[in-house]
Amino acid sequence: MVEGSLMEDKPTTVYYDEENDIIYVKLLSQINIDNVDAHISSLNSVSRSSKRKCQLIDASDVRNLILDKETRQIMRENGLRLGIRRIAYVGLSPVSRMMFRALHAGNQDTGPEYGFFYNESEALVWLGKEDPVTTEVAYE
C-alpha cells in the first residue's frame, strides 16, 4: 500500500491498493480552495503507481459536500492530467451527487467514467469490470 503525503489541512486520506489496482480516497472534510492543493498532492503521490487509473472515493463521513467553482476547476484539470479513467463515488448525499455531476460536466467527452454507489462492495464490482473490447477494423 502506497500512502499519500501527510499534511496538516488535508481534507482526504489517499492510498493505493496495489492488489486491486485502485486508488482509495476517503473524504475527511470539505474540499475547498484552501486545502485542494493538499488533496491533489496526496493524490499525485499515489496515482503514479496505478495502471488502470481507477478511484474509489468514500464520502460517507462528509454529509453534504459542496465544491466552489474554482475548486471544481482545479480538481477537473488535475483529474485530466493524471489520466483518471473511472471514479466510483460512495456515500454521497443527493446534493453532493449533483455537485460531482457539475464537476464532471465540463469534461464529459474527455473525462473519466463515473458512478454513484451506496456501498463499497458495489463500487468495487463496477471498478473491477474490464473495459469493453475495441476491435480495430481495416478497410480495404
Per-residue pLDDT band at 1 (split at 50, 70, 90): low
Per-residue pLDDT band at 135 (split at 50, 70, 90): very low
Give me the helix-helix angle, 94-105 and 69-82, nearest 10°: 60
Per-residue pLDDT band at 15 (split at 50, 70, 90): very high
What is the grid cell recorded at 88? Answer: 466510483
| Domain 2-128, CATH number (from 3.30.750.24, 1.10.10.10, 3.40.50.720, 3.30.565.10) | 3.30.750.24
From the list 65, 47, 56, the residue with the least C-alpha distance to 88 is 56
Average pLDDT, the chain: 82
**pLDDT, tens only, 56-100:** 999 998 878 888 889 988 888 887 788 888 999 999 988 888 888
Per-residue pLDDT band at 138 (split at 50, 70, 90): very low
